[in-house]
């Protein structure tokens, strides 16, 4: 994947843009925090979020989303680690699956999969992994919570191999387990890493070792644990494949590190791994051609829109993944969808909790562009070329509900809130041609609760979601006359979306089939192209 590509300019070559995928509670937040700590972006662990030790429940999540302080500004974080610039893009943290997650993964070149050493591969891990696989994203695995009773190392590796059909190569090997866990043997660098249980923010002591026969090992590891380590590694070398960077970059093999995020253990080795083996910014696909990162001209695409980052200003920030070139603040870029130039004068880079003005950015970086709603998900920004990036998927809304404001006088407010969420891509919003109210379409049921909670929080508007008489939505297109005629004779089934495009609502697949059969000139589609 990398081998036959031209050498990248050093500023681009040092960038690593990735996301963390994990089942809730596996330790994604803790790991993120330690990344930022070692990346010098925060001074003290615990700054990212003060969630407490409570298990995350549904209401915890709602509360978290409501005080949107950090979960929002942490959408994309940049920090340096050694010679590398890391761009960590946050995947939405809740357990319900949303389009947001898919889109986020279109903006990265690699993913870190965090699993809990006691629980192994969990349902959400698997789902997220499948999304990564669709894009052949290289995956690095971090097996967390090794300070607690964990499963047998071979069992964990087997489970990943079998469940996810990917080769697993140990980059480190745990020594002891649970209370007797003392550290890992770093197989890539022949080093012994010893965990310090006393100080959670201290980095492990690292002992250089000349292979597994080095007598120095005996000074740090109890005899029985050492014998076990030697046996296991011998067996691992026999049974498991050797690390093959090409296979890793193609998404067929994942290196696994064992550690404990909360004890800052194994985290630096993992970061080192991303830097050394992780992919450089990769080419991005557009309908017209591939965009290579080293191209001189700037091109990028919006993969996420976040509104209300600052409740006092109703601003929006569009997150743009730069696909190519060297961006400088103040540049005029072409907004391809509207064919209008756009001066990008106040782009932001997200350094942990702070927003900073981005003076420059390179291919691979994520910049935030404040705007008043012009920038939509999927939009391209270029130095003149009319590109259409193709990676951003659009999903069919699978669940429909009617939403009403608690106070009928507030319908206008509700409309405004809904339009905003539609632009963010958080939901599809349909206004029926006949009758009042709005119909909201989402992919996962929890999204209704999240929306209700956000509308109340951000707009001070209590709302009710109720079952809709419709269960399916189809965008209608075709020759203008035919579309208009169809809409006029099916008014009770017609609605318009937030762009004013026509949508056919029904509860019967039979209706949809009939339209397609009787009026082949009309097209009914379950998703709307972003462009």
Binding mask 386-405 for ligand GDP (x = CB under 6 A): --------------------
Cα-only R_g, the chain: 25
- Residue of 8, 19, 26, 113 that binds ligand GDP (CB under 6 A): 26
Told to check if 24 binds ligand GDP by CB under 6 A, we report: yes
* Binding region for ligand GDP (CB under 6 A) out of 63-71, 143-151, 179-187, 205-213: 143-151
- The answer to whether 47 touches 117, Cβ cutoff 8 Å, is no
Whose Cβ is closer to ligand GDP: residue 23's or residue 474's?
A: 23
Alpha carbons 465 and 144: distance in angstroms, whole number: 39
Burial 8-18 (b: 16+ CB within 10 A, else e): beeebbbbbbb
Residue 140 sits in the site that holds ligand GDP (CB under 6 A): no
Residue 91 binding ligand GDP, by CB under 6 A: no
Rounded to the nearest 5°, which phi and psi values hold at 162?
-80, -40
Our finding on whether 261 is near ligand GDP (CB under 6 A) is yes
For residue 315, the SS3 value is coil
494 contributes a contact to ligand GDP by CB under 6 A? no
CA distances from 56 to 25, 46, 75 (A): 8, 16, 20
Q: Which of 53, 213, 238, 481 binds ligand GDP (CB under 6 A)?
A: 53
- 119 or 388: whose CB is closer to ligand GDP? 119
Of the candidate residues 17, 30, 254, 371, the single one contacting ligand GDP (CB under 6 A)? 30
Q: Which stretch binds ligand GDP (CB under 6 A): 101-109, 140-148, 342-350, 410-418?
A: 140-148
Site string for ligand GDP, 442-481 (x = CB under 6 A): ----------------------------------------
Site for ligand GDP in 175-204 (CB under 6 A): none
Q: Which of the stretches 21-29, 81-89, 458-466, 504-512 binds ligand GDP when contact is defined by CB under 6 A? A: 21-29
23-26: list long-range contacts, CB under 8 Å, 24+ apart.
23/115, 23/116, 23/119, 23/122, 23/123, 23/124, 23/125, 24/56, 24/93, 24/94, 24/95, 24/124, 25/55, 25/56, 25/116, 26/114, 26/115, 26/116, 26/119, 26/122, 26/125, 26/144, 26/145
Minimum CB separation of residue 127 from ligand GDP in Å reads 14
Does residue 172 interact with ligand GDP by CB under 6 A? no
Q: Is 104 in the site for ligand GDP (CB under 6 A)?
A: no
CA distances from 253 to 3, 138, 248 (A): 17, 8, 4
For residues 212 and 214, give the distance between their C-alpha atoms in angstroms, rounded to a whole number: 6
Per CB under 6 A, 101 contacts ligand GDP: no
Residue span binding ligand GDP (CB under 6 A) among the ranges 124-132, 241-249, 255-263, 409-417: 255-263
Contacting ligand GDP (CB under 6 A), which of 124, 125, 144, 280?
144
Helix extents (H) in 39-187: 58-66, 69-73, 99-105, 123-134, 153-164
Q: Which of 25, 196, 385, 456 binds ligand GDP (CB under 6 A)?
A: 25
Between CA 50 and CA 46 the distance in angstroms is 6
> Cα–Cα distances in Å, from 100 out to 48, 196, 283, 349, 395?
21, 38, 22, 20, 10
Q: How far is the CB of 128 from ligand GDP (least distance, A)?
A: 12
Residue 30 Cβ, how far from ligand GDP at the closest point, in Å?
Answer: 3
Q: DSSP label at 146? A: T
Q: Which of 8, 13, 22, 429 binds ligand GDP (CB under 6 A)?
A: 22
Contacts 24+ apart (CB under 8 A), 202-206: 202/264, 203/38, 203/264, 203/268, 204/264, 204/265, 204/266, 204/268
Residues in the annotated binding site for GTP: 90-94, 144-147
- Contacting positions for ligand GDP (CB under 6 A): 22, 24-30, 53, 56, 144-145, 147-148, 260-263
């Amino acid at each position: 994947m990398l081998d036959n590509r031209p050498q990248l300019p050093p500023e681009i070559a040092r960038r690593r843009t990735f996301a963390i995928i994990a089942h809730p509670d596996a330790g994604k937040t803790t790991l993120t925090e330690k990344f930022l700590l070692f990346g010098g972006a925060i001074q003290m662990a615990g700054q990212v979020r003060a969630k407490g030790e409570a298990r995350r429940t549904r209401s915890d999540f709602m509360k978290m989303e409501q005080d949107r302080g950090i979960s929002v500004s942490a959408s994309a974080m940049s920090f340096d680690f050694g010679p590398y610039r890391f761009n960590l893009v946050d995947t939405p943290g809740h357990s319900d699956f949303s389009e947001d997650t898919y889109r986020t993964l279109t903006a990265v070149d690699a993913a870190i999969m965090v699993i809990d050493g006691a629980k192994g591969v969990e349902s959400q891990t698997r789902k997220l992994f499948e999304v990564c696989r669709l894009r052949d994203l290289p995956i690095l695995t971090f097996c967390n919570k090794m300070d607690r009773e964990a499963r047998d190392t071979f069992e964990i590796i087997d489970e990943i191999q079998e469940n996810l059909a990917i080769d697993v190569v140990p980059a480190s090997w745990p020594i002891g387990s649970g209370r007797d866990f003392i550290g890992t043997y770093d197989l890539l660098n022949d080093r012994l890493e010893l965990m310090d249980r006393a100080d959670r923010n201290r980095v492990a002591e690292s002992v250089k070792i000349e292979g597994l026969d080095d007598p120095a090992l005996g000074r740090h590891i109890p005899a029985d644990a050492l014998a076990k380590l030697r046996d296991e590694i011998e067996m691992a070398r026999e049974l498991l494949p050797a690390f093959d960077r090409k296979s890793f970059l193609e998404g067929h093999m994942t290196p696994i590190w064992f550690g404990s995020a909360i004890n800052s253990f194994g985290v630096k080795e993992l970061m080192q791994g991303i830097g050394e083996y992780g992919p450089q910014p990769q080419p991005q696909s557009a309908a017209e051609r591939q965009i290579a990162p080293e191209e001189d001209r700037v091109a990028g695409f919006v993969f996420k829109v976040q509104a209300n980052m600052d409740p006092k200003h109703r601003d929006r920030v569009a997150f743009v993944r730069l696909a190519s070139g060297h961006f400088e603040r103040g540049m005029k870029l072409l907004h391809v969808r509207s064919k209008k130039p756009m001066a990008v004068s106040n782009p932001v880079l997200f350094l942990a909790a702070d927003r900073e003005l981005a003076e420059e950015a390179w291919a691979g970086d994520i910049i935030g562009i404040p705007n008043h709603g012009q920038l939509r998900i999927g939009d391209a920004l270029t130095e003149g070329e009319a590109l259409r990036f193709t990676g951003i998927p659009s999903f069919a809304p699978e669940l429909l509900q009617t939403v009403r404001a608690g106070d009928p006088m507030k319908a206008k407010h509700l409309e405004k809130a809904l339009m905003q969420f539609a632009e963010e891509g958080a939901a599809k919003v349909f206004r029926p041609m006949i009758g009042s109210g709005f119909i909201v379409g989402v992919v996962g049921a929890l999204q209704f609760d999240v929306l209700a909670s956000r509308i109340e929080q951000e707009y001070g508007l209590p709302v009710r979601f109720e079952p809709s008489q419709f269960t399916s939505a189809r965008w209608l297109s075709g020759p203008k006359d035919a579309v208009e005629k169809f809409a006029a004779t099916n008014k009770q089934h017609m609605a318009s979306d937030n762009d004013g495009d026509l949508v056919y609502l029904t509860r019967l697949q039979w209706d949809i089939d009939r339209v397609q059969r009787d009026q082949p000139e009309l097209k009914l589609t379950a998703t709307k192209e972003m462009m």
